[in-house]
């Protein structure tokens, strides 16, 4: 029996192989107990709560931590055996690769959950999730680069030269791609400061349109003409942006003029007539109505009201109703609108002294 335990196979005794197998099976059994009892109970508890954080933790443990436990069980059971240096090195490298892969997966999942939970607490979360995709790509690239550097360092290589090279290369890339990096930083400004979001109607200088997409380098607008307008993020962050989607109400000022032949009694009626018309409209708030001045060919009035909606079509509908009602009321009150006219007064004496006009 002693000879059986001391028998060697692939450089390891039977006892060593059995020990490794027992460690492997014991590890698998412990993982199964962990899944069947602990994870099962965690799922039941998370199902009773309204928050999503516990659901995320359970999912992360099940998809990333449990596979990492399997990898660890394989690795530590194989450590009970003696292998040639090359084979042992290959096993160690494979374990580091697997460990780094699952660890980075856990880190990126935590960052993603944190970012999206922050977005879900805000309004228009669906559109902001689309904007966050570009940010997640950049974060994932940074995490994986750091993870690869960590892996190389644990493999025994000197990463000082690599980090120095990355620093010098980063400076060279930054100098060569200043415009691209400028747009990238502008993307971060747009994402965190949120001067506009997807679905907002904005005007930038002489450009206007609805925001359709916010990317790492460019933002795309759908203009009123139907074409797509592509603007760099730097251009948008450096310009004055008029965001009409966030306008809670619209202030309207309009003037009208009536002829000088209008009587004083009619002039007194005009502000009350227009005020009554504006107050009769839904979602419209009257501000003021005044006889504002004596024009060259008209008696001028100025009116101000608010439309309690940011929708442009709604505003135009209300304005049309007000204008039509004013026209109807003035027609009923026999008040005439003014238009550019010029009256010429002729001196009869000057006409009689003038030379006779010959008719041909």
pLDDT tens digits, one per residue of 279-332: 999 999 999 999 999 998 899 999 999 998 878 888 899 999 999 999 999 999
Strand partners for 207: 204
And the tokens for 112? 């993603």
pLDDT at 169 > cutoff 80:
no
Which pair of tokens denotes residue 53?
A: 């954080």
Separation in Å, CA 89 to CA 103, 148, 149, 188, 329: 21, 18, 19, 43, 95
What does the DSSP 8-state code read for residue 260? T
* 251 contacts 306 by C-beta, under 8 angstroms: yes
Element (H, E) at 93: helix 85-120
CA nearest to 184, candidates 227, 144, 141, 148: 141
Of 21, 117, 133, the residue nearest 78 (C-alpha): 21
In sequence order, the β-bridge partners of residue 67 are none
Question: In terms of C-beta density within 10 A (0-12 exposed, 13-18 middle, 19 or more buried), how is residue 14 classed?
Answer: middle
What is the C-alpha separation between 258 and 338, in angstroms, rounded? 4
Closest by Cα among 261, 237, 230, 247 to 312: 247
Does the pLDDT value for residue 337 go beyond 90? yes
Q: Which token pair is 65? A: 């931590």
- Measured CA to CA, the distance from residue 15 to residue 33 in angstroms comes to 26
The sign of the dihedral angle between the CA atoms of 65, 70, 73, 79 is negative
**Per-residue confidence band for 336, with pLDDT thresholds at 50, 70 and 90:** very high
Query: What three-state secondary structure class fits 135?
Result: helix
Which is more confidently placed, 292 or 244? 292
Per residue in 14-65, pLDDT (tens digit) is 777 788 888 888 888 888 888 888 887 877 777 777 677 777 788 888 888 8
Contacts of 184 (CB under 8 A, 6+ apart): 138, 216, 217, 233
SS3 44: helix
Q: Which of 65-69, 129-133, 135-139 has the highest mean pLDDT?
A: 65-69
Cβ atoms of residues 273 and 329 within 8 Å:
yes
State residue 138's pLDDT score. 74
Q: Is the pTM of this model over 0.85?
A: no
Whether the pLDDT of residue 244 is over 70: the answer is yes
Lowest model confidence (mean pLDDT) among 76-80, 234-238, 320-324: 76-80
- For residue 197, give the 3-state DSSP assignment: coil
Span 54-77, pLDDT tens digits: 777 888 888 888 888 888 888 888
- Report, as an integer, the average pLDDT of 90-98: 81
Residue 179 three-state SS: helix
* Residue 108 CA, distance from chain mean position: 20
Looking at the predicted structure, is the pLDDT value of residue 126 above 70?
A: no
pLDDT at 358: 46
């Amino acid at each position: 029996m002693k000879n059986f335990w001391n028998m060697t196979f692939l450089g390891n005794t039977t006892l060593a192989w059995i020990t490794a197998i027992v460690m492997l099976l014991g590890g698998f059994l412990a993982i199964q107990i962990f899944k069947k009892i602990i994870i099962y109970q965690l799922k039941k508890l998370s199902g009773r709560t309204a928050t999503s954080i516990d659901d995320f933790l359970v999912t992360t443990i099940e998809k990333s931590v449990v596979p990492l436990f399997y990898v660890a069980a394989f690795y530590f059971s194989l450590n009970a055996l003696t292998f040639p240096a090359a084979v042992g090195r290959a096993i160690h490298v494979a374990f580091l690769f697997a460990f780094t892969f699952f660890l980075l997966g856990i880190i990126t999942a935590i960052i993603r959950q944190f970012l999206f939970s922050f977005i879900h607490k805000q309004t228009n979360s669906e559109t902001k999730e689309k904007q966050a995709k570009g940010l997640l790509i950049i974060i994932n690239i940074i995490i994986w680069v750091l993870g690869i550097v960590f892996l190389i360092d644990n493999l025994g290589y000197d990463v000082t030269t690599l980090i120095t090279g990355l620093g010098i290369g980063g400076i060279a890339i930054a100098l060569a791609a200043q415009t691209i990096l400028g747009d990238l930083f502008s993307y971060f400004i747009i994402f965190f400061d949120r001067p506009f979001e997807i679905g907002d109607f904005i005007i930038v200088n002489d450009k206007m349109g609805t925001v359709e997409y916010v990317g790492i380098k460019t933002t795309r607008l759908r203009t009123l003409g139907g074409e797509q307008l592509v603007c760099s993020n730097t251009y948008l962050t450096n310009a004055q942006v008029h965001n009409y989607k966030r306008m809670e109400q619209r202030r309207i000022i309009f003037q009208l003029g009536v002829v000088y032949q209008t009587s004083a009694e009619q002039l007194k009626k005009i502000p009350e007539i227009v005020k009554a018309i504006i107050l009769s409209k839904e979602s419209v708030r009257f501000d003021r109505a005044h006889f504002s001045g004596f024009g060259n060919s008209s008696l001028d009035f100025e009116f101000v009201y608010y439309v309690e909606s940011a929708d442009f079509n709604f505003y135009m509908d209300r304005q049309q109703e007000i204008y039509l009602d004013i026209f109807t009321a003035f027609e009923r009150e026999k008040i005439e609108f003014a238009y550019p006219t010029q009256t010429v007064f002729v001196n009869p004496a000057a006409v009689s002294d003038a030379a006779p006009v010959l008719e041909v």
